């Protein structure tokens, strides 16, 4: 079998598996416009069920962030509620599906309970905490919701401006507020 034929067969099997097992699509992301170095911020990602399969599926989720950044505390609300834990397997699936650049990496998560046996059109809100490091500038981050390791469409991305926290300005503002009314 040629490499081209192997890829075509693999793609066909993936599509058939996705149709048989159910899929979700990532439809939106809310993230702050800016944050600071060595800080943490919360993102809200909307995921919609676009197909259902015969069996319930484990909710899965991916976060693409720069090397040195981290993500955790992934929870979801919707027709069912729950949380997700880090998954090396989901991280690998994401890396294979959407190879990261040399400056970023995928962090995958999966629920420990089977709950995305929803109806087509059901929406889930996924919340995730993202942790920054010393990197300064405009940073692209991306998110992808999945059922097991199956998904529809591309990740949703956004940009966040990262700046150093200027303690001098912050302290002076606090001093001014505290003593300004006397």
Angle at 132 between CA 166 and CA 37, to 5 degrees: 10
- Write the CA distances from 148 to 42, 94, 111, integer angstroms: 23, 11, 9
Q: Does residue 67 lie within any of the structural domains?
A: yes
Judge whether residue 14 has pLDDT over 50: no
Q: Does residue 4 lie within any of the structural domains?
A: no
Q: Which domain holds residue 44?
A: 22-176
Q: Does residue 2 lie within any of the structural domains?
A: no
Angle at 165 between CA 162 and CA 167, to 5 degrees: 175
Per-residue pLDDT band for 170 (boundaries 50, 70, 90) equals low
Q: Does residue 8 lie within any of the structural domains?
A: no
Q: Considering only CA atoms, which of 84, 106, 112, 102 is closest in space to residue 93?
A: 106
Percentage of the chain surpassing pLDDT 70? 73
According to DSSP, the β-strands at 82-86 and 59-66 are unpaired
Per-residue pLDDT band for 162 (boundaries 50, 70, 90) equals very high
Q: What is the pLDDT of residue 151?
A: 85
Question: 152: domain CATH number?
Answer: 2.60.40.740
The torsion defined by the Cα of 131, 68, 109 and 102, in degrees rounded to 10, comes to 140
Judge whether residue 103 has pLDDT over 70: yes
SS3 state at 136: coil
pLDDT in tens, 120-161: 788 999 999 999 999 999 999 999 999 888 888 899 999 999
- Name the E strands within 15-93: 22-30, 34-36, 40-52, 59-66, 70-77, 82-86
Q: What average pLDDT does the segment 100-111 reach?
A: 96
Report the half-sphere exposure of 174 (CA within 13 A, side-chain side). 6
Q: Does residue 11 lie within any of the structural domains?
A: no
pLDDT in tens, 67-80: 999 999 999 998 88
Q: Does residue 81 lie within any of the structural domains?
A: yes
Q: In total, how many domains does the chain have?
A: 1
Q: What is the mean pLDDT of the chain?
A: 81
With tokens 């999945």, the residue in question is: 146
Q: Considering only CA atoms, which of 145, 31, 128 is closest in space to residue 94?
A: 145
Q: What is the pLDDT of residue 117?
A: 62
Q: Does residue 9 lie within any of the structural domains?
A: no
Q: Does residue 165 lie within any of the structural domains?
A: yes
């Amino acid at each position: 079998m040629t490499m081209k034929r192997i890829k075509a067969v693999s793609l066909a099997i993936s599509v058939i598996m996705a149709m048989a097992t159910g899929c979700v699509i990532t439809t939106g992301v809310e993230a702050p416009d800016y944050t600071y170095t060595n800080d943490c911020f919360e993102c809200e990602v909307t995921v919609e069920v676009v197909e259902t399969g015969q069996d319930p599926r484990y909710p899965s989720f991916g976060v693409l962030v720069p090397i040195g950044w981290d993500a955790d505390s992934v929870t979801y609300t919707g027709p069912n509620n729950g949380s997700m834990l880090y998954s090396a397997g989901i991280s690998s699936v994401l890396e294979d599906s959407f190879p990261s650049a040399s400056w970023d990496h995928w962090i995958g998560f999966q629920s420990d309970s089977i709950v995305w046996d929803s109806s087509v059109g059901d929406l889930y809100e996924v919340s995730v905490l993202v942790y920054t490091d010393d990197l300064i500038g405009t940073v692209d981050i991306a998110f992808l919701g999945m059922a097991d390791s199956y998904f529809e469409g591309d990740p949703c991305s956004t940009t966040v401006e990262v700046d150093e926290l200027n303690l001098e300005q912050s302290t002076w503002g606090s001093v001014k507020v505290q003593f300004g009314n006397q």
